[in-house]
A and B are shown apart, each in its own frame.
Chain A
Amino acid sequence: MQSSTGDKGPTRTPRAPEPVHAVSTRGLVKSYPGPRGTTTHAVRGLDLDVPQGETFAFLGPNGAGKSTTIALLCALARPTSGHATVAGADVLARPHLVRRHVGMLFQHSTLDADLTAEQNLRIHARLYGLPRRQARLRTTEVLETAGLTDRRRSPVRTLSGGMRRRLEIARALLHSPRVLFLDEPTTGLDPHARAEVWDQLRALRDRHGNTLFVTTHYLEEAENCDRIGIIDHGRLVAQGTPLALKAAIGDDRVVLRTSDDPTAHGVVCGIAPQDRAVTADTDGISLRVPDGSAWIPRFCTALERAGIAVHTASASRPTLDDVFFHHTGRSLHTAGGGR
């Protein structure tokens, strides 16, 4: 079921001078003690490789373990077992080294709203040990990139949501991290601000070759990434390029709207291949079959013969949502993906 492409990366020797993978995990597990002696497994045995310079999307419903995984990879939380190497350093043995070389954009704003944009950046630079001169230089640079130079002296509380997000990305880049983690970078932004954030991210990848590790539940955003990993219940259920993932499912989705859906459901079940699940809901009757457009005339003929009028019929290539449904049994939109 895994349709991973290019995961046969060279087995990493522990002292590789130039790490091939920006992120690499083996058997990563994180469990929390739950109520009454139970154990909550947030991440259960994650094996993941993200090559340098790649934009990797981590797709999954809320509570799937995305944020926990990011916390583990940033050495903010300690794994229960397994290990992870990020930006060439082991998260357990060298947590400070890992944090020095990664940037992090949290899901919710972590700016000091009382200080100005520039002051927020300066403090970050000092926290990461940048010498004064370099701190000044980088602050000017990242403000420029984020298009916030003219708002540098504005208190953060006076900035719009989109500006704050861009400022936060700028701050995460201040110490020139090799890997940038972005947890739901565009949640809560309007479409225009979302587009601006993605422009900033794409420029980053193209100009500086940063590795981006993005969690998202916007499918169209995942579509733009080099590779996608689908996580559900703390497990990676599939990974690959968007194209490869969709191709792996293969089957088209056929949707029929008729004058009498319940009866039509029986008719369609009768002629469709035995192993196909046919569902009938408010959107009509739907099923997945290979070469869907060829099936439409056959369904129509059979339905007409049964005296049922077909209002609409469509066959569509698999989407990422279908991929998600295929691997998790849920649609991303109904799985609590939206906040």
Chain B
Amino acid sequence: MTTSALRAADAKDAPGTSDSGSGSGSGRAARLRLELRAVHALVHRDLLRLAGQRVHTALLLLHPVLYLLVLGGGLAALIPRSSLGVDYRTYLFPGMLMMTVQTPAVMVGIRLITDRESGYLRELLMAPVGRSTLLLGKCAGGTLAATVQGAVLLGLAGVVGLPYDPLLLATLLAGMVLASFTITALALALAVTLRRAETFHTLLGVVMMPLLFLSGGFFPLDALPGWAGTLAGANPLAYAVDLLRRCVAHHVPGGHGTPGIAWAGRQPPLLLEAALLLTSGVLALLWAARRFSRPE
């Protein structure tokens, strides 16, 4: 559904999209194969960069690990189990997973802007594929790179008192894919409207901290004053954290004791939260693709 809608957004920019595949079904298949190869090219590039910049990748991973061990370790002694139902480190874990995927996902947006500045974007725009395809490739690359990093952090599950249950790990991984996708799409939507990397960095500096604190990753959202709780209801990161936390809750005793997102005092169903995340990601990506495909 995403691809066809993107294609529609692209058709305005490139009349050739419709005409080269018109009539014959095989032409359409060949065309799709070419577009998929371009997506693969961009995903491949993101993975090469991830592997090539080992120090950077390691530092990115170190950040949430430090939070988990230092902040988590310190506060675990202060916060009694009774108030959260679980050890504070266990409580912190979903939030840190989200933080791990959030940084590389947001970086995709920064890279789009730096690609524009360095000129590499022109090389991409010259490729004989739709511009929406390029954006889709960027999004897929960011989602994958973010998920890979998140998967590494999953290795610490034992340290925070979670069982290495394949089902738990798989659901957490699925949750991270979804969170990565949505954050990447939002970052791309932002990146196509901004021309300067500096603006993007400054905006992140201003917005990221409140978004993280209003995500429920560090403390329960019901501890917030009412207005802040309402704001959290509009924070995509809060839904991502809530989703991951509810995956964890089934596997630890007392995990259900911490309320997350609440709509008029009631917790929305898990699937609805996931659907909301997916929808906002898809909408952001569609909007970004439309904006990106605007003819010059």
Extra A-B contacts (19), CB below 8 Å, given A99-B128, A126-B41 = A74-B126, A76-B126, A94-B16, A95-B14, A96-B14, A96-B16, A100-B128, A108-B119, A110-B123, A114-B52, A114-B53, A115-B52, A119-B45, A122-B44, A124-B123, A126-B38, A127-B127, A127-B129, A129-B128
Tell me whether A123 is interfacial, beta carbon within 8 Å. Answer: yes
Does B33 lie within 8 Å of A123, measured CB to CB?
Answer: no
CA–CA, A9 to B210, complex, Å?
A: 67
CA–CA, A119 to B121, complex, Å?
A: 16
Contacts of A109 in B (CB 8 A): 118-119
Residue of A nearest to B34 (CB): A129
Closest beta carbon of chain A to B142's beta carbon, Å = 16
CA–CA, A77 to B38, complex, Å?
A: 20
Closest beta carbon of chain B to A138's beta carbon, Å = 14
CA–CA, A111 to B118, complex, Å?
A: 8
Contacts of B130 in A (CB 8 A): 96
Residue of B nearest to A125 (CB): B41
User: Which residues of B from 167 to 199 have beta carbons under 8 Å from A?
Assistant: none
* 8 interchain pairs, CB-CB under 8 A: A77-B296, A109-B118, A123-B42, A123-B48, A126-B41, A129-B33, A129-B34, A129-B128
**Total chain B interface residues with beta-carbon distance under 8 A:** 34
Does B20 lie within 8 Å of A94, measured CB to CB?
Answer: yes
Given the known inter-chain contacts A99-B127, A108-B119, A115-B49, please indicate yes or no for A127 contacting B20, CB distance below 8 A: no
CA–CA, A99 to B17, complex, Å?
A: 13
Contacts of B296 in A (CB 8 A): 76-78
Tell me whether A112 is interfacial, beta carbon within 8 Å. Answer: yes
What 0/1 readout, one digit per residue, does chain A (81-106) give for beta carbons within 8 Å of chain B? 00000000000111111011000101
Contacts of A106 in B (CB 8 A): 119, 122-123
Tell me whether A113 is interfacial, beta carbon within 8 Å. Answer: yes
In the complex, the 7 A-B pairs of residues with the closest C-beta atoms, listed nearest first: A126-B41, A129-B34, A100-B128, A127-B127, A99-B128, A110-B123, A110-B119
Does A127 lie within 8 Å of B38, measured CB to CB?
Answer: yes
Does B17 lie within 8 Å of A96, measured CB to CB?
Answer: yes
Greatest chain A CB density within 10 A among B41, B45, B128 is at B128
Residue of A nearest to B123 (CB): A110
Tell me whether A128 is interfacial, beta carbon within 8 Å. Answer: yes
CA–CA, A287 to B220, complex, Å?
A: 87
Contacts of A94 in B (CB 8 A): 16, 19-20
Given the known inter-chain contacts A114-B49, A119-B48, please indicate yes or no for A97 contacting B119, CB distance below 8 A: no
Greatest chain B CB density within 10 A among A76, A93, A96, A171 is at A96
Contacts of B16 in A (CB 8 A): 93-97
Residue of A nearest to B38 (CB): A127
Tell me whether B124 is interfacial, beta carbon within 8 Å. Answer: yes
A interface, CB within 8 angstroms of B: 74, 76-78, 92-97, 99-100, 104, 106, 108-115, 119, 122-124, 126-130, 155, 171
Closest beta carbon of chain B to A177's beta carbon, Å = 10
> What secondary structure prevails in chain B residues at the interface with A?
helix
> What secondary structure prevails in chain A residues at the interface with B?
loop
Tell me whether B164 is interfacial, beta carbon within 8 Å. Answer: no
CA–CA, A130 to B127, complex, Å?
A: 12
Greatest chain A CB density within 10 A among B34, B40, B126, B130 is at B126
CA–CA, A35 to B20, complex, Å?
A: 38
Contacts of A96 in B (CB 8 A): 14, 16-17, 20, 128-130
Residue of A nearest to B137 (CB): A127
CA–CA, A168 to B118, complex, Å?
A: 14
Contacts of A99 in B (CB 8 A): 126-128
CA–CA, A76 to B53, complex, Å?
A: 32
CA–CA, A86 to B136, complex, Å?
A: 28
CA–CA, A174 to B235, complex, Å?
A: 46
Residue of B nearest to A124 (CB): B123
What 0/1 readout, one digit per residue, does chain B (1-34) give for beta carbons within 8 Å of chain A? 0000000000000111101100000000000011
Contacts of B53 in A (CB 8 A): 114
Given the known inter-chain contacts A114-B49, A115-B45, A115-B48, please indicate yes or no for A128 contacting B125, CB distance below 8 A: no
CA–CA, A97 to B129, complex, Å?
A: 9
Contacts of B127 in A (CB 8 A): 99, 127-128
Tell me whether B37 is interfacial, beta carbon within 8 Å. Answer: yes
CA–CA, A112 to B114, complex, Å?
A: 11
